[in-house]
Amino acid sequence: MARILITSAIPYINGIKHLGNLVGSQLPADLYARYQRGRGNEVMFLCATDEHGTPAELAAAKAGKPVAEYCAEMWEVQNRLGQGFGLSFDHFGRSSSKQNHRLTQHFAGKLAEAGLIREVSEKQVFSNADKRFLPDRYIEGTCPNCGYDRARGDQCENCTKQLDPTDLIEPRSAISGSTDLEVRETKHLYLCQSQLKDRLDAWIDSKSDWPLLTTSIAKKWLHDGDGLQDRGITRDLDWGIPVKKGDEDWPGMEGKVFYVWFDAPIEYIACAGEWAEANGKTEADWQRWWRTDKGADDVRYVQFMGKDNVPFHTLSFPATILGSGEPWKLVDHLKSFNYLNYDGGQFSTSQGRGVFMDQALEILPADYWRWWLLSHAPESSDSEFTWENFQSSVNKDLADVLGNFVSRITKFCRSKFGEAVPEGGEFGPQEQALIEELTTRVRAYERHMEAMDVRKSAQELRAIWVAGNEYLQSAAPWATFKTDPDRAAAQVRLGLNLIRLYAVLSAPFIPFASARMLEAMRTEDASWPDDVATALQALPPGHTFTVPDVLFAKITDEERESWQARFAGGRS
């Protein structure tokens, strides 16, 4: 039995995520976790909310709530939506946890001991009205490039030009609106990533099985321009993890917190500590996943994330781990994704353009979305959600192929043999040919899933469903029954066992429908089909079943048109 540690990029706390966010990390990570559990492997699947930094403070201020209260409420929302989509985390934690506070401060102390942190004096905008330094995103003004009057101090959202706060015309505080700003000197800590460049380069070179997207982004940051730069790891903010060296205060860093991109990846590790505490486990129980001196040397660690997160997870977080000098587990495989665009444009949180997780679950069950998103995952390039494609995929794949098969075979059996697997007849050449085809396809499906080729896995799974449909159409037990009831009984027996097989194979993609199929077959046997011929005899003659309700309803043209208009822009 293998041991597999899985993490997906942790979603930011400021709001409900859209479907593009979901398919970029959490959903494919869940697919892989469910598959590995199905194969009998020991899995630890971790995720959390990313709760520190400027956007959290701004979102809380906009909501009129203390930032800690806002984050706690949004964690509940994101946790509930994750469960609604069937995300099977072993623990869904919070980067504001006491475990992450302690571990982040611990890493900072170890990096300081190793001489990998330096102090830098910087000039930063200070708001006299707010009595605080303002991060770049807290400063608004008019863009000198396009004249947009709500440009931020780091970038103009209108023309996308990168900016410094001092570039803005008539800059003002995003907190109070005050223009009483001045530039003052402040001190910050920098992680000396440049000193670790060669070690990071060699480590990335050793990952020959990483996707090209992952390695190309990492190499670009390592070698283009001036190469890997040292990175600031502190900020002048109130909300965050206080700057300390382990348990000790850090002279000159009073009132500062660690930068969110320093503490957020450390939450992957801290999350395991949260899991242990929540489940009555010991320190040894979580360390066996994360420390190679405590048993994690035989763990395979896989990360899932969108391409925008790759630099931090291939460079900054590994620099933290390597620089600490401690035996923490480094990622073995990093699966990165491109972007999912929306109906001719982009998803937009600010404009409410596209479908968000809460809205998706309001209009259709999770499996409809899971199937489309995973079967169209943006792996080799960006992909696009269109309502026409979504309707077509749901109707053809889920309703016409899988749902239709389950409905036809169960209803026919009930009408001719009752609600029990029929006796009589033997499998003939037609059934043996199907078993051989399914054996070949199941092994291919396993290879694609092991390789984390999400779209190829979906294509193979659909082909497995199609094979059953084609067999049923060709065997035509409704015709056979008229002349040879025993032969029809064997055909139906195979068909009912195919439902159980489909439930097991489909569970990583459509877990809710899978559970309904197993329930209809009145079995809890979800064992993986190591031998397809044996699996197709798992439900013996006499085993009772029920005819399930419609697994997947077709999407009508009227529904599609209504949703397309509703989600064109502006959340409702």
Alpha-carbon separation of residue 475 from 158, 165, 443 (angstroms): 61, 72, 25
Is residue 413 a known part of a binding site? Answer: no
3-state SS, residue 64:
coil
Cα–Cα distance measured from residue 135 to residue 152, given in angstroms and rounded to the nearest whole number: 10
Asked whether residue 47 is marked as a ligand-binding residue, the answer is no
> Would you list the DSSP string of 179-238?
--EEEEEEEEEEE-GGGGHHHHHHHHHT-TTS-HHHHHHHHHHHHSTT-SPPEE-EES-S
Q: Does the annotation place 349 within a ligand binding site?
A: yes
Measured CA to CA in angstroms, residue 76 lies from 92, 94, 302, 418, 501 at distances of 10, 11, 26, 46, 35
- Helical (H) or strand (E) element with 140: strand 139-142
Rounded to 10 deg, the angle between the 366-375 and 511-520 helix axes is 120
The secondary structure element, H or E, covering residue 460 is helix 454-475
Pairing of strands 132-133, 117-127: antiparallel
- Tell whether residue 192 is among the known ligand binding residues: no
Is 271 annotated in a binding site? The answer is: no
Binding-site annotation: residue ranges: 143, 146, 156, 159, 349
Binding-site annotation: residue ranges for ATP: 349
Binding-site annotation: residue ranges for Zn(2+): 143, 146, 156, 159
